């Protein structure tokens, strides 16, 4: 999980692109929802306990009740880390002075295999926001820290960085690993070092992009404000009815960038308004409401079902068949599963062909 350093690896997705995000974020105090990230924190506590040979807690340290679904969700991560041939370090702080003296954080799990010169890092992502492992700044910071631990001998090492994201679909599956050499890692470290140095300087620059969506300073950032206002102004510009293919693709890309800037700016302003109103201020035309959450049983399932029996009502869910993939993993022959299952076609989705996609295809993973 993340550290709390001035340049935390968990925030590297922002400061590695926008150096000013760190200094600007220090100027903002937002009121966060008490449930924000609580499930993720609880899931990490469950995963750490299991990896340390302890039983899963019934209630996480942050007060969240641990459910069977949560335990099942973290199992792919726990199984993956247990598959390492060397003992993992669980929730152990790592510093990365090769990037900056203020860069340190706590990987969910990592290990150094001195027999074959391989460093491994695994990070559990419990949320639904898709996280890519390729060129992931957070994992690169952790990898740099392990390279610093090994020292000069790390020149011959390789690094395996893994994201385990059990609750969101990805074409590569829930466990995704990116492998790179020490030379490739050093290329990324050079970029991270330059951005870290600028972030800690007196006048860091601001850059607008997808990383703005999760930046605490999006409500006060001048660069994001200008970009979002420009996007709003351009929204009324007429578009030709018939466009060449190249122009069509370019405009879609332009409008998606504008949409991202507007969304990030709006999210930041709304969070700022909620914080002010919650503190007693009046924001003209707006008020804060907390709608009721999902109704849940407060008694064990056995007591709920007994209640149903008392009134002659079945309150237990009917048993459902496992998924075809779960059946294969359980040992059912794949050909028999295939004869009784089919994959439904997904909904058409327009996806950009990025430089990252091209590099994946052609294997050019160096920086």
Q: Residues, the chain, total?
A: 367
Strands 118-124 and 158-164: parallel
pLDDT at 233: 61
169 within domain boundaries: yes
Average pLDDT over residues 106-114: 96
331 within domain boundaries: no
Indicate whether 114 pLDDT > 70.
yes
Angle between helices 245-278 and 222-234 (to 10 degrees): 130
Which of residues 171 and 254 earns the better pLDDT score?
Answer: 171
The gap from C-alpha 6 to its chain's centroid, in whole angstroms, comes to 20
Q: What is the 3-state secondary structure (H, E, C) of the chain?
A: CCCCCCCCHHHHHHHCCCCCHHHHHCCCCCCCCCCCCHHHHHHHHHHHHHHCCCCCCCECCCCCECCHHHHHHHHHHHHHHHCCCCCCEECCCEECCCCCCCCEECCCEEEEECCCCEEEEEEECCCCCCCCCCCCHHHHHHHHHHHHHHHHHHHHCEEEEEEECCCCCCCCCCEEEEEEEHHHHHHHHHHHHHHHHHHCCCCCCCCCCHHHHHCCCCCCCHHHHHHHHHHHHHCCCCCCCCCCHHHHHHHHHHHHHHHHHHHHHHHHHHHHHHHHHHCCCCCCCCCCCCCCCCCCCCCCHHHHHHHHHHCCCCCCCCCCCCCHHHHHHCCCCHHHHHHCCCCCCCCCCCCCCCHHHHHHHHCCCCC
pLDDT at 353: 59
Q: Are both 141 and 25 inside the same structural domain?
A: yes
pLDDT tens-digit series, residues 320-344 = 676 778 777 888 788 877 887 887 7
Q: Are both 16 and 126 inside the same structural domain?
A: yes
pLDDT at 68: 92
Contacts of 297 (CB under 8 A, 6+ apart): 304
Indicate whether 238 pLDDT > 60.
no
Q: Are both 188 and 260 inside the same structural domain?
A: no
Indicate whether 77 pLDDT > 90.
yes
Q: Are both 14 and 130 inside the same structural domain?
A: yes
Which of residues 217 and 330 earns the better pLDDT score?
Answer: 330
Q: Are both 222 and 164 inside the same structural domain?
A: no
Which of residues 69 and 21 earns the better pLDDT score?
Answer: 69
Q: Are both 15 and 131 inside the same structural domain?
A: yes
> The sheet that has 109-113: what strands, in order across it?
89-90, 109-113, 118-124, 158-164, 175-181
Please give the Cα distance from 265 to 216 (Å, whole number).
11
Q: Are both 115 and 227 inside the same structural domain?
A: no
Indicate whether 305 pLDDT > 60.
yes
pLDDT at 154: 92
35 within domain boundaries: no
Q: Are both 189 and 218 inside the same structural domain?
A: no
347 within domain boundaries: no
Indicate whether 4 pLDDT > 50.
no
pLDDT at 33: 46
pLDDT at 242: 62
pLDDT at 367: 42
294 within domain boundaries: no
pLDDT tens-digit series, residues 124-154 = 999 888 899 999 999 999 999 999 999 999 9
304 within domain boundaries: no
Q: Are both 143 and 97 inside the same structural domain?
A: yes
Number of domains in the chain: 2
Rounded to two decimals, what is the model's pTM?
0.61
Largest CA distance in the chain: 72
Q: Are both 130 and 228 inside the same structural domain?
A: no
pLDDT at 366: 43
> What average pLDDT is seen over the chain?
81
Please give the Cα distance from 84 to 91 (Å, whole number).
16
pLDDT band of 295, cuts 50, 70, 90:
low
Indicate whether 211 pLDDT > 70.
no
Indicate whether 50 pLDDT > 80.
yes
What share of the chain in percent tops pLDDT 90? 38
pLDDT at 232: 61
81 within domain boundaries: no
Average pLDDT over residues 79-92: 96
* Residue 37 · residue 68 · CB < 8 Å: no
46 within domain boundaries: no
Q: Are both 113 and 232 inside the same structural domain?
A: no
Q: Are both 160 and 260 inside the same structural domain?
A: no
pLDDT at 108: 96
pLDDT at 309: 83
Domain with 147, as residue range(s), is 9-29+88-205
């Amino acid at each position: 999980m993340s550290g709390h350093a001035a340049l935390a690896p968990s925030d590297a997705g922002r400061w590695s692109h926008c150096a000013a995000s760190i200094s600007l974020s220090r100027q903002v105090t937002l009121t966060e929802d008490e449930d924000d990230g609580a499930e993720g924190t609880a899931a990490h506590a469950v995963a750490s306990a299991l990896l340390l040979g302890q039983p899963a807690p019934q209630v996480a340290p942050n007060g969240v009740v641990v459910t069977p679904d949560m335990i099942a969700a973290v199992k792919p991560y726990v199984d993956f880390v247990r598959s390492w041939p060397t003992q993992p370090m669980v929730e152990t702080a790592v510093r990365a002075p090769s990037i900056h003296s203020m860069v340190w954080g706590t990987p969910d799990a990592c290990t150094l295999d001195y027999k074959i010169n391989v460093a491994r890092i695994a990070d559990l992502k419990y949320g639904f926001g898709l996280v890519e492992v390729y060129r992931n700044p957070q994992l690169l910071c952790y990898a740099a820290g392990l390279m610093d631990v090994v020292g000069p001998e790390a020149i011959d090492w390789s690094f395996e960085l893994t994201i385990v994201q059990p609750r969101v679909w990805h074409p590569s599956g829930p466990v995704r690993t990116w492998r790179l050499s020490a030379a490739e890692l050093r290329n990324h470290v050079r970029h991270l070092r330059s951005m870290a140095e600028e972030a800690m300087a007196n006048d860091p620059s601001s850059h607008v992009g997808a990383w703005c969506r999760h930046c605490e300073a999006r409500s006060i950032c001048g660069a994001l404000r200008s970009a979002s206002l420009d996007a709003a102004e351009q929204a009324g510009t007429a578009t030709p009815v018939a466009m060449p293919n190249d122009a069509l693709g370019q405009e879609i890309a332009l409008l998606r960038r504008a949409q991202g800037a507007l969304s990030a700016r709006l999210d930041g302003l709304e969070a700022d308004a909620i914080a002010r109103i919650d503190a007693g201020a009046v924001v003209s035309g707006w008020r804060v409401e907390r709608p009721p959450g999902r109704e849940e049983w407060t008694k064990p399932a056995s007591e709920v079902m007994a209640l149903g029996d008392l009134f002659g009502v079945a309150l237990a869910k009917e048993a459902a068949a496992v998924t075809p993939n779960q059946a294969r993993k359980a040992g059912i022959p794949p050909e028999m599963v295939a004869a009784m299952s089919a994959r439904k076609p997904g909904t058409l989705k327009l996806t950009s062909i990025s430089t990252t996609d091209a590099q994946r295809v052609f294997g050019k993973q160096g920086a």
